[in-house]
Amino acid sequence: MIKVLIPLFGPIPGGTELAIILLLIVLLFGASKIPKLAKSTGGAIGEFKKGRKKMELELEEMRNETTQEIDPVPKQEQE
């Protein structure tokens, strides 16, 4: 059976479409603001990744605490 994957946001733009999009971005934001926009976007992505990592560590600690509460006796002592 052949499955066809349908893109979530439509087809990916090609070379000409990307050039037009980049031209519109330069016209809207101006050439001097694009590096600032890219820097702030990169900083936001970095903060998001740090927050995600912190949340994952907290969840892992909670899982470990819950496991210790359920089985407080280590497996070596149970034998």
Average pLDDT over residues 6-15: 73
> Residue 10 carries which DSSP code?
S
User: What distance in Å separates the CA atoms of residue 68 and residue 65, rounded to the nearest whole number?
Assistant: 5
Task: Indicate whether 14 belongs to any domain.
Answer: no
Higher pLDDT, 30 or 44: 44
Q: How many residues does the chain have?
A: 79
Task: Indicate whether 55 belongs to any domain.
Answer: yes
Based on the structure, what is the number of domains in the chain? Answer: 1
- pLDDT grade for 77, boundaries at 50, 70 and 90: low
Residues ≥6 apart with Cβ < 8 Å to 13: 21
Task: Indicate whether 6 belongs to any domain.
Answer: no
- pLDDT grade for 7, boundaries at 50, 70 and 90: low
Residues ≥6 apart with Cβ < 8 Å to 21: 13
> Nearest-CA neighbor of 24 among 34, 10, 14?
34
Task: Indicate whether 10 belongs to any domain.
Answer: no
Task: Indicate whether 66 belongs to any domain.
Answer: yes
Check: CB of residue 55 under 8 Å from CB of residue 62. Answer: no
